[in-house]
């Protein structure tokens, strides 16, 4: 769907079960870095399908969504575009679920579009400034002119043979599901266009969350935070615990010995937690 000057790709499933009340808030899923909407579809469509409306969105520049590379690395700008998409889909009471970098976009939704946010779910979120930098190849891809040449080289020659190892490392210490990279279309992230968008998101994230996190206390929506204690991609003590400290109405669930992908490695527990959280928002059992 065209929104402002980009095209946002999304997957929208309706509630089909007779027992599903029409007033159940829809769940809107926002994926993280180096990813696309298929990651959340794999985790949530089967266990939640039919119980309520589910909307999965490719963030600008990812999956099959377009983007102006120089303008849209800011989670607040991405939240604005997604909010306009939801408005066109006649959604004004969403429970927004953000994984990893998508957690920053979810937080921006709560800050800037609280009127359409019923609740927020943060999965292994990246929402606060951290010490240190980012991996060197993201910095290289973010350089003017040189970055584009670098992205084409990495995407074409270096990326494909390493994609399985890279995906497995994100799951560690948990095991990656069989055929995960193929199922979620992980190689889409190696297209030069998306590689550049992803690099900009990651390199610029620190400055954006540094500014955003000062205002998290103004988020009115209730929040559920889910993290793994062994997440080495996004440190729980900074991000998940930081949200728990900063948000006025939040609950934290920590899965022991779990990595960065709790929605896959602890799928049944994550789904149950989201259902209980959503039911608590409406006063109805899920």
Question: Average pLDDT, stretch 164-186?
Answer: 91
Domain spans of the chain, in order of start: 2-133+207-282
pLDDT (tens digit per residue) in 4-41: 788 999 999 976 655 556 678 999 999 999 999 999 99
pLDDT (tens digit per residue) in 142-153: 667 666 766 677
Helix (H, G, I), strand (E, B) or coil at 250: strand
**Which among 39, 18, 34 is positioned nearest to 195, based on CA atoms?**
34
Tracing tokens 């969350």 back to the chain, one arrives at 209
Instruction: Round the average pLDDT of the chain to a whole number and report it.
Output: 89
Q: What are phi and psi of 29, to 5 degrees?
A: -105, 130
Q: In this model, does residue 189 exceed pLDDT 60?
A: yes
Fold type of domain 2-133+207-282 = Rossmann fold (3.40.50)
- Indicate the pTM of the whole model: 0.92
pLDDT (tens digit per residue) in 66-120: 988 666 889 999 999 999 999 999 999 999 999 999 999 999 999 999 999 999 9
Of 88-92, 137-141, 212-216, 231-235, the least confident: 137-141
DSSP one-letter code for 158: I
35 vs 16, 23, 115, 270, 276, CA distance in Å?
28, 31, 28, 19, 27
**Which among 271, 253, 285 is positioned nearest to 46, based on CA atoms?**
271
pLDDT at 222: 97
Listed in sequence order, the residues at least 6 apart from 126 whose beta carbon sits closer than 8 Å to its beta carbon are 32, 33, 100, 101, 103, 104, 205, 209, 234, 239
Question: Average pLDDT, stretch 32-53?
Answer: 94
């Amino acid at each position: 769907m065209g929104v402002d000057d980009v095209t946002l790709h999304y997957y929208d499933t309706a509630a089909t079960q007779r027992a599903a009340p029409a007033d159940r808030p829809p769940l809107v899923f926002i994926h993280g870095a180096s990813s696309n909407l298929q990651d959340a579809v794999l985790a949530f469509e089967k266990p939640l399908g039919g119980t309520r409306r589910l909307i999965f969105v490719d963030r600008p520049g990812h999956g099959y969504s377009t983007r102006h590379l120089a303008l849209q690395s800011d989670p607040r700008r991405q939240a604005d575009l997604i909010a306009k998409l939801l408005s066109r889909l006649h959604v004004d009471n969403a429970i927004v679920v953000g994984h990893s970098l998508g957690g920053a976009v979810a937080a921006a939704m709560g800050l800037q579009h609280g009127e359409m946010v019923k609740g927020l779910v943060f999965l292994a979120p990246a929402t606060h400034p951290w010490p240190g930098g980012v991996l060197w190849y993201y910095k290289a891809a973010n350089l003017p002119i040189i970055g584009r040449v670098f992205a084409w080289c990495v995407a074409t020659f270096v990326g494909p043979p390493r994609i399985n190892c890279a995906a497995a490392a994100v799951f560690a210490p948990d095991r990656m599901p069989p055929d995960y990279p193929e199922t979620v279309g992980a190689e889409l992230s190696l297209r030069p266009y998306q590689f550049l968008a992803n690099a900009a998101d990651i390199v610029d994230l620190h400055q954006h969350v540094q500014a955003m996190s000062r205002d998290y206390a103004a988020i009115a929506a209730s929040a559920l935070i889910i993290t793994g204690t062994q997440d080495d991609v996004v440190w729980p003590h900074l991000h998940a615990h930081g949200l728990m400290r900063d948000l006025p109405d939040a609950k934290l669930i920590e899965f022991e010995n779990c990595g960065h992908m709790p929605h896959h490695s602890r799928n049944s527990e994550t789904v149950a937690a989201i259902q209980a959280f959503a039911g608590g928002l409406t006063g109805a059992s899920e």
